[in-house]
A = this chain, B = another copy of it.
Amino acid sequence: MRLYADDRSAPARHEMTEPAGRVDLDSGSRLRWDALAGEWVVMAAHRLKRPFSGVTSVCPLCPGTGAECEIPGGAYDVAVFDNRYPALGAPGPRGAPPAAPEPFTDVPAAGVCEVVSFGSAHNTTLAEQPVRRVRTVIEAWADRTRALNSRPDVAQVVCFENHGAAVGASLAHPHGQIYGYPFVPPLLARGRDAARRARRAGGCLFCDTVAAEEVAAVRVVLAGRHWIAMVPYAARWPFEVHLFARRHVPDLPALDEEERAELALVYRSVLRRFAAVAETPLPYMALWAQAPARGGREADHLHARLFSTHGVDGRVKRLAAGELGTGAWVSEADPEAAAAALRAAIPSDRADVRRTAKHDR
């Protein structure tokens, strides 16, 4: 378990490390090769036994002393700990699964699953936290990305959040997760392939997209000195935002101080817009697309993808046989209208970001 304090000027970052003889949790999961899709599937049927909201009376992320408690002691700012019901992880030394598996290949599901608690307060959300707390979350993401990238059984670190019971979050306490996948997940791999092709042709797909979107302007939600948030051109969800670093950086650990400070503001601003744009706060999913642990990191361009399955009028984008069975997406999103709504949701925030809030560093 690791603790990260909002007060980074304090002499010691209050941090606890795992015991020296730490043994990786056995997730019990296997990877099976889906030869038709050309993808690994994590087989984790045993995870159906994990607790759901309401099953236990004690919140495991609230500070306390009981057996369910994950973070012993008093109030804390940000805590990262091993997921007690991991989807990934196998004991013993593990490397990457085979790169070109035969049909009917299965291997232990190596990797790691961690939980990031956004603070000791239960009845709140990350959007409602002060900017300095979001900054501490960013520090935790960057620190764990660096640490997990050094593991031989981790190919890709993904920091993500499922927010809201409507999108399946099993704990109400504000928290996210970090997965160290033993393979590069397919959607990220395809984005990477597209970026590499563009790079061979002399450009950066992401840098070029940022430049073109800034000219078009219609899909931009929020533009700072170091970050730009916009609804993607071919948005699939009622509300969807891509948050790009302006500098061509591979991952969160590569961000400098100024970039981290503004990211805290911009990231929170996007979350606040998701909370304000509809009558009730939107449930959402958010994740970071970072460079893989090894290999070809120079083509990657750090960005976050945030999206909500819910629209303003309570309509939910449901996936049917088309999307789930053939992959052909019929989007009911209106990207330009969604961007306008998100811009209008909190008009004052835009100026806040331009100021880059020195007081918040």
Query: Which residues of A (325-350) have their CB < 8 Å from a CB of B?
Result: 325-335, 337
Which of these binds chain B: A8-16, A179-187, A274-282? A179-187
Q: Looking at chain A's contact residues, is the secondary structure mostly helix, strand, loop, or mixed?
A: mixed
The CA-CA distance from A46 to B234 in the complex, in Å, is 15
The residue from B35, B193, B205, B311 contacting A194, defined by CB atoms under 8 A apart: B35
Instruction: Indicate whether A59 reaches chain B with its CB closer than 8 angstroms.
Output: no
Most chain B beta-carbon neighbours within 10 Å: one of A33, A37, A325: A325
Chain B: which residue is nearest A318 at the CB level?
B168
Complex contact B327–A187 (CB within 8 A): yes
Instruction: Indicate whether A34 reaches chain B with its CB closer than 8 angstroms.
Output: yes
Complex contact A330–B187 (CB within 8 A): no
Complex contact A33–B332 (CB within 8 A): no
A 151-190 to B, binary, CB cutoff 8 A, 1 in contact else 0 = 0000000101110000110000000000101010111111
Task: Say yes or no: A285-B325 contact (C-beta < 8 A), given A47-B330, A103-B205.
Answer: yes
Instruction: Indicate whether A130 reaches chain B with its CB closer than 8 angstroms.
Output: no
Please, how many residues of chain A have a CB less than 8 angstroms from a CB on the other chain?
A: 74
Chain B: which residue is nearest A88 at the CB level?
B330
Complex contact B285–A42 (CB within 8 A): no
Complex contact A187–B48 (CB within 8 A): no
Residues in B whose Cβ lies below 8 Å from that of A45: 331-334, 337
Instruction: Indicate whether A212 reaches chain B with its CB closer than 8 angstroms.
Output: yes
The CA-CA distance from A38 to B266 in the complex, in Å, is 28
Task: Offer 16 A-B interface pairs, CB within 8 angstroms, sorted by A.
Answer: A34-B233, A34-B234, A35-B205, A36-B191, A37-B187, A37-B190, A42-B329, A44-B332, A45-B332, A45-B334, A48-B332, A162-B321, A183-B328, A187-B326, A287-B326, A307-B325
Question: Would you list the 8 A-B pairs with minimal beta carbon distance, nearest first?
Answer: A187-B327, A185-B328, A185-B326, A186-B327, A285-B321, A32-B234, A168-B318, A34-B234
User: Which positions in A face B, CB cutoff 8 Å?
Assistant: 29, 32-45, 47-48, 87, 103-104, 158, 160-162, 167-168, 179, 181, 183, 185-191, 193-195, 205, 208-209, 212, 216, 232-236, 285-287, 305, 307, 311, 315, 318-322, 324-335, 337
